[in-house]
Structure 1
Amino acid sequence: MSYVSPGKGYSRDSRYLTTRITADGRDGYRVEPGRYRLVVSRACPWASRAVIVRRLLGLEEALPMAVAGPVHDERSWTFDLDPGRRDPVLGIERLRDAYLARDPGYDRGITVPAVVDVPSGKVVTNDVPRITLDMALEWTPYHRPGAPALYPPALRPEIDAVNEVVYRDVNNAVYEAGFAGTQEAYADAYARLFARLDRLSARLERSRYLVGDGITEADVRLFTTLVRFDAVYHGHFKCNRQKLAEMPVLWAYARDLFQTPGFGDTVDFEHIKRHYYLVHDDINPTGIVPAGPDTAGWLAPHGREALGGRPFGDGTAPGPVAPGEAVPAGHTPLA
């Protein structure tokens, strides 16, 4: 399976299924607790956004989750973590089956996160940017008491602006560097990535969170790249000017979030490493998965409380991880 096209830069296929699940059902799919299944992989940064937001908002019962294994082939993510290697609710072995149920001629990416309509077995949406926003805005009757406002109206223009540059220069730039097929494409992505990280560091030197005084959608989107940085992007994707652990402000910011309920307790470092180092076999043909880095540093004091801020705004922290959803012991320093 090839991820690098020699002589070309990397271009992400963002042709998503943009059907929305809304409170009024205007796209044909109404918010209903238990009707849908959120399919994720803990390895994938885009899916990890949805895992974090779902937990912060307390949607575990309303929107049940299926966790695919960290390794897939050119056909699909698979449910090899489940008994019989089959999702117990959807009854399928591969996520591809739910995409083909939606469209037998589907020829785009079989991506996570994906929200599947359980009665029909069809994928409703894999629209990464929209899924978490709709969790925050359309599923509000099923939020837990004390759920934070992750996309508050007054801050939306600023959140949107931050998200745009973080996506272009951080979330996607690491892939543009890692999958570059020319030196020039790599150099451009590398330069944009570290220039943006320097700007974010300057911003976060005086503010505990990216926008406002509490956690928002913007923090979730940046965190999922930062938490993978030293484990995979620094070496595997050649984003090696510095490790995250060598960028003091961003490292403290990332540790602050990691130690906040809803963030670090969703992170599976073993799944992350297995995915990148095994699936991208044109970059890592030996299939050797690194033993490091040591993740214990994620639990070191961060000192960010001195900047003030209220992680959950007027709300409260989520409770314990739902039964059956804990990251396996040994896959996280929190275990």
Structure 2
Amino acid sequence: MAAGGAFERDRSYLTTRITADGRDGRPVEAGRYRLVIARACPWANRAAIVRRLMGLEGVLSLGVAGPLHDERSWAFHRDPGGRDPVLGIELLREAYERRQPGYPHGITVPAIVDVPSGEVVTNDFERITLDLGSQWRAHQRDGAPELYPERWRDEIDEVADAVYRDVNDGVYQCGFAREQGAYDEAYARLWGRLDALEERLARRRYLVGDTLTEADVRLFPTLVRFDAVYHGHFKCNRQKLTEMPALWGYARDLFQTPGFGDTIDFDQIKAHYYVVHHAINPTGIVPRGPDVRAWLSPHGREALGGRPFGEGTPPGPPPASEAVPPLT
């Protein structure tokens, strides 16, 4: 917690990279690594989306921590016997400790674990998605999209940085603020940025260019959690997402795009935030709403043009073992 009661995220990460040539830490190798996520976590959601879009399911296995955890770690409490079936661990902390005994920072997802050693290789969420899109090319499916094209990188970085500061992290700065002034400042920045994004997306289908990019992958996980969690739980309550026409249409467009909505489990999202954050919701009561079936309603964004996958193609359905419950 920073001065004045402002929330400050610990961004101390294990930054070892997994690259095609291995010169920056570890080499890309089919079957060697396991991507650990939690369906509840927006930062992990990014990695799940990119893995799906790139078609890496067959070469990079997926471990899914449950939505509930305590101060020790994310846990595999939904798996048989309460253990990850590949890593054999109950708590993700065990993989961090194998990498660095007494690991002093947060036990975060996403994390990529080296299966033979059981050690976390990296939990640098920004670098993970970029590398899945670039360094794993030899294993990507035919038709995988280019999410970080050279000609758009400066604009993608500019948009994504603003989205991270004011929206992705901004909702947490509202929710975890300890003083009114810190909350008011975060709230103003959040809504200033959302208003700017509403204006931007009123005239274009995607954030940068005319195809899906890394910028869209980074904004979507916050938007999809907004009405279910951030609006009330984190006091981001000027408006609901459903009351912002462009952002709501854009979010539904992405949700209905293969690789996005098929990574979302609203029950796990709500269970995590409303049960784990005791200081914000001491009763642990999980709200029944909102009605998530609205995510499947027509969005009309095709009229703005654009091709979601550019010269590529949509991914096929997720493996049955990774399918999330249908919206009901």
TM-score interval, smaller chain: over 0.9
8 Å CA contact 1:180–1:186 kept in 2: the answer is yes
Deviations 1:190-220 (A, max 9, x none): 0000110010111111110000101011001
CA–CA separation in structure 2 for the residues paired with 1:248 and 1:12: 31
Partner of 1:74: 71
CA–CA separation in structure 2 for the residues paired with 1:231 and 1:45: 13
CA–CA separation in structure 2 for the residues paired with 1:71 and 1:42: 11
Instruction: Tell whether 2:34 aligns with 1:37.
Output: yes
One-letter amino acid matched to 1:199: A
**Aligned-pair distance for 1:259?**
0.5
**Aligned-pair distance for 1:320?**
1.1
Q: 2:83 aligns with which of 78, 83, 86?
A: 86
SS at match of 1:234: helix
Deviations 1:298-320 (A, max 9, x none): 11110000000000000001011
**Aligned-pair distance for 1:6?**
10
CA–CA separation in structure 1 for the residues paired with 2:60 and 2:190: 34
SS at match of 1:46: helix
Partner of 1:216: 213
RMSD (Å), alpha carbons: 1.1
CA–CA separation in structure 1 for the residues paired with 2:131 and 2:107: 21
Instruction: Tell whether 2:308 aligns with 1:279.
Output: no
Deviations 1:272-299 (A, max 9, x none): 0000000100000000000000011111
Q: How many residues align?
A: 328
Instruction: Tell whether 2:182 aligns with 1:185.
Output: yes
One-letter amino acid matched to 1:57: M
One-letter amino acid matched to 2:279: D
Q: Percent identity?
A: 70
One-letter amino acid matched to 1:201: E
8 Å CA contact 2:167–2:222 kept in 1: the answer is yes
**Aligned-pair distance for 1:269?**
0.3
CA–CA separation in structure 1 for the residues paired with 2:19 and 2:4: 43
SS at match of 2:112: strand
Partner of 1:126: 123
One-letter amino acid matched to 1:171: N
SS at match of 2:63: strand
8 Å CA contact 1:5–1:181 kept in 2: the answer is no
**Aligned-pair distance for 1:328?**
2.6
Partner of 2:143: 146
One-letter amino acid matched to 1:185: A
Q: Name segments (4+ residues, structure 1) moved above 4 Å.
A: 4-7
SS at match of 2:320: coil
**Aligned-pair distance for 1:105?**
2.1
Moved more, 111-120 or 25-34: 25-34
Q: Unaligned regions of 5+ residues in structure 1, if any?
A: none
8 Å CA contact 2:205–2:250 kept in 1: the answer is yes
Q: 2:254 aligns with which of 233, 253, 257?
A: 257
Partner of 2:53: 56
Counterparts of residues 217-256 of structure 1 (less than 5 Å) = 217-256=214-253
SS at match of 2:247: helix
Partner of 1:308: 305
8 Å CA contact 2:95–2:120 kept in 1: the answer is yes
**Aligned-pair distance for 1:81?**
1.2
Partner of 1:295: 292
8 Å CA contact 1:6–1:181 kept in 2: the answer is no
One-letter amino acid matched to 1:107: P
Partner of 2:24: 27
SS at match of 2:19: coil
CA–CA separation in structure 1 for the residues paired with 2:264 and 2:288: 17
SS at match of 2:148: coil
Partner of 1:207: 204
CA–CA separation in structure 2 for the residues paired with 1:6 and 1:43: 29
One-letter amino acid matched to 2:134: L
CA–CA separation in structure 2 for the residues paired with 1:61 and 1:81: 22
One-letter amino acid matched to 1:237: F
CA–CA separation in structure 2 for the residues paired with 1:86 and 1:328: 22
CA–CA separation in structure 2 for the residues paired with 1:72 and 1:80: 9
